Structure 1
Amino acid sequence: MEEIPVTDLFTVNNLWMMIATTMVFIMNLGFATLESGLTRSKNAVNILFKNTIIPVIGLLTYAMVGFNLMYPGAEFAGGFFGFAGFGLSAPEGWDSSNYNAGYTYFTDFLFQAMFAATAATIVSGAVAERVKLGPFITFSILYVAFIYPIVGMWKWGGGFLNTLETPFYDFAGSTIVHSVGGWAALVGAFLLGPRIGKYTPQGMKAIPGHNLSMATIGVFLLWFGWFGFNGGSVLSANPGIVSKVFVTTSISAASGAVGALFISYLKFKTYDITMVLNGILAGLVGITAGADQMSVLDSVFIGLIGGGLVVFGVVFFDKIKIDDPVGAISVHLVGGVWGTLAVGLFGNLAGMNQVISQLIGIGAVGAFCFATAFLIFFVLKKTVGIRVDEKEEIEGLDINEHAMRAYPDFAAKD
């Protein structure tokens, strides 16, 4: 068989990486429609605005400082922190396989920038319907510019988690992306407090979202984007690994839906579409850490358990009065921790040494992200405030923060 010329192979690899990048980019639309659909119509514009501005912040901050914090260079291997300088500076050979066998320097940057934006988007849903827009944007800038890339450097940039005796493993970011966002979501929801009327002396009151059609569209857009999220993390167009990752990703998502459906029906005796939707996402988050290492059967178990955990997570956080309108903490934090631990329990890397390394990574990232998110949100709370006042919350953030409504033809007339 005639060998494929190196230049042609490089072009194919780079093309797949660019396609994967666009698929991950579409996940921003998925988050926007999901979060908007699961919240009330009076806050729809606010949700859409946040999910529009976050990828903008992600791209700009990642270009200015984030990329070089996350990939500071070989001299910082095994460390906790490194910085290669401000801005983007393509090295010699950036546009050929001299830079990397799978992609160019700028493809590398753009693919990683999409991941950076995702971490902050996770926070948006958990703090929905009562957070001030300005402080939220400030938090997002600081978190995406500095916290996410420092954590990313610990593994993907050659940092200390990558140089453990048994290296911590996170293929596409169950911990490094999803739990980074999940820890911040937990902190934000805790410091903000619950929405008015959510928890009363009579018990917890359900506050339903206004458009489950949009929420469903959002989940399927996210599922579609996850093929780029996980498939692109192969970092080449290797047909065997990419196709396997597509299968494990899909199987875990489907199993997540089944797990959430089963557990939610046992608990609530109803077929809850929101639990099934979040079960799909929990399955996707769960498989992300080890999508390249799992068999089909492993993926089934990871998804089933992840889907069940998301139901228990939603119930638990409501019990302790952490108000998360979209279930982001249960999906991304609980699911991220589970998926990361699952690498040591299932698949090619299973073993006690790997479990210990996974726990070290979960603990280090959790402690750092919880502390830094708490510091940023707490300072903002004590200075400019992070929660809108009662009148604004009752009337809705759309009319107060944006002077417009998502559905003006259906709004009550003054």
Structure 2
Amino acid sequence: MLEADFKYILDTFFTIFAMVLIIFMVPGFAMLEAGLVRTKNVSAVLTINVMIYAVASLSFLLIGFKVAFGSWENLNQSIWAFFMFQMAFVGKTVNIMSGGVSERVRIIPLAIFTVVMGAVIYPLVVNVCWGADMIKGTMLDIEMYDLAGSTVIHSTGGWALLAAIMIIGPRKGRYQDGKIKVIPASNIPLVVLGALLLWIGWFGFNGGSVGSISSIEKADLVAKTIMNTNTAGLAGAIIAGIIMYMRYKLLDITMILNGALGGLVAITAGPDLYDAYTPILIGLVGGALVVFAVPVFDKFKLDDPVGALSVHLVNGIWGTLAVGIFADSISFTAQLKGVVLVGIFAFSVSYIVLYLINKISVFRASDDNQLEGMDVNECGVESYPEFKRAI
């Protein structure tokens, strides 16, 4: 066997393996969100997550991949493996949204938006950020370094979520008489399972984005990338736990896990660039940002049941800017420009599309339907029919 053939086969297998790890994030998001919502909305959340994977993936296959990359060509590994890896990414932008608008969003209009996100919005961001020769030298030329998508994926989904929350509004009864009604999670074991599945999936998310493992140098880089990814998650979890204990003398597992996820989002832009210790600092900042951002969004009545804005939007921005701060030869100005341009595009286009869809098929369920639960009204299947539904 020729060396080139062996490298092609090895890199193809590596990409497929990384893709499988990323697909584990589908049940990760589903379990996390199912555990954080009330029992009367669990089936709806699970249905939305399955539909996102199906609709976004097919939209990317039919339209989005061509928009993102221009052609079905890849000389270093199988194009089919490369496509599957990129397809595994696309649904995550809407997964970020689905948790943040849960308990009051209707499934069909969200599925319609998923088509637009998978076919147009996300692929255009990919095209501009990850290699569009046609825009080189123009104002749209983004030289931002973003290995696996702190901005391209996480912030894009976060900006779309912000637009959706502004259009849909908060859950019924969430904000009353200037006070915030605490709505507790329904199933903490599912939250833990979902978060840990996401954590595992991140190793494929970031490690696979190196693109190759068929040389000693690339193998070392993949290993370092995965190690740094894990380190940032560890630091984010620890700092979130420390802050919560200092403030409330309690260890809130949901906030600890969101702190870990915040660290993982933050490191995603440049885990291949750092030494073994810088990810600790990046993860510490990421986890702390989650803890402090959650009440800020609540102050502005931006109802986000799972904390996705704090985890994905805030830390997507932080992680991208951190590359310009800590990585050698990476321009902070270029990182900031990328964050701003992607933010303007993702938010404005998402808002317009969501607004138009909302005129045709209303996103927000009625107050009565929210009170009864989205499972009954959207799915006709309750996850826990024997249980008394929470108000």
**Structure 1 unaligned spans of 5+:** 73-83, 85-89, 92-98
1:160 offset after TM fit, Å? 7.5
1:262 offset after TM fit, Å? 2.2
Letter in 1 for 2:376: I
Give yes or no for the alignment of 1:127 onto 2:97: no
Match of 2:316 among 333, 336, 355: 336
Give yes or no for the alignment of 1:359 onto 2:333: no
Native 8 Å contact 2:8 2:78 kept in 1: no
Letter in 1 for 2:64: G
Letter in 2 for 1:388: A
Letter in 2 for 1:206: V
Distance in 1 of aligned mates of 2:134 and 2:321:
18
2:232 matched residue in structure 1: 252
1:110 matched residue in structure 2: 84
Gap change, CA 1:368 and 1:137, over 3 Å in 2: same
Native 8 Å contact 2:57 2:118 kept in 1: no
Gap change, CA 1:63 and 1:372, over 3 Å in 2: same
Native 8 Å contact 2:92 2:153 kept in 1: yes
1:268 offset after TM fit, Å? 3.1
Distance in 2 of aligned mates of 1:360 and 1:189:
25
Aligned residues: 383
Quote the sequence identity (%).
39
2:117 matched residue in structure 1: 143
**Which deviates further from its counterpart, 253-262 or 305-314?**
253-262
Distance in 2 of aligned mates of 1:132 and 1:160:
39
Deviations 1:334-381 (A, max 9, x none): 01000000000113345xxx1100111000000001101110111122
Letter in 2 for 1:402: C
Deviations 1:282-306 (A, max 9, x none): 0110000001001121100000000
1:9 offset after TM fit, Å? 2.1
2:5 matched residue in structure 1: 7
Letter in 2 for 1:129: E
Native 8 Å contact 2:129 2:142 kept in 1: no
Distance in 1 of aligned mates of 2:171 and 2:108:
19
Native 8 Å contact 1:251 1:299 kept in 2: yes
Letter in 2 for 1:404: V
Letter in 1 for 2:36: L
2:261 matched residue in structure 1: 281
Native 8 Å contact 1:36 1:47 kept in 2: yes
Distance in 2 of aligned mates of 1:31 and 1:265:
26
Match of 1:182 among 153, 158, 162: 158
Letter in 1 for 2:257: L
1:81 matched residue in structure 2: none
Deviations 1:100-125 (A, max 9, x none): 22x21111111001111111111000
Q: Which structure exhibits the higher relative contact order, with contacts defined as CA atoms closer than 8 Å and separated by 6 or more residues? A: 2
Give yes or no for the alignment of 1:385 onto 2:385: no
Give yes or no for the alignment of 1:227 onto 2:203: yes
Distance in 2 of aligned mates of 1:374 and 1:266:
38
Deviations 1:315-350 (A, max 9, x none): 100111100000001100001000000000113345
Give yes or no for the alignment of 1:292 onto 2:272: yes
Which segments of structure 1 move beyond 6 Å, counting only runs of 4 or more?
160-166
Gap change, CA 1:370 and 1:171, over 3 Å in 2: same
The alignment's C-alpha RMSD in Å is 1.8
TM-score of the superposed pair, with normalisation by structure 2: 0.94
Match of 2:169 among 193, 212, 232: 193
Distance in 1 of aligned mates of 2:328 and 2:252:
35
Native 8 Å contact 1:156 1:162 kept in 2: no
1:382 offset after TM fit, Å? 2.7
Match of 1:306 among 283, 286, 304: 286
**Which deviates further from its counterpart, 224-233 or 262-271?**
262-271
**Structure 2 unaligned spans of 5+:** none
Native 8 Å contact 2:237 2:257 kept in 1: yes
Match of 1:100 among 65, 75, 83: 75
Give yes or no for the alignment of 1:374 onto 2:354: no
Gap change, CA 1:162 and 1:323, over 3 Å in 2: farther
TM-score of the superposed pair, with normalisation by structure 1: 0.89
Letter in 1 for 2:86: Q
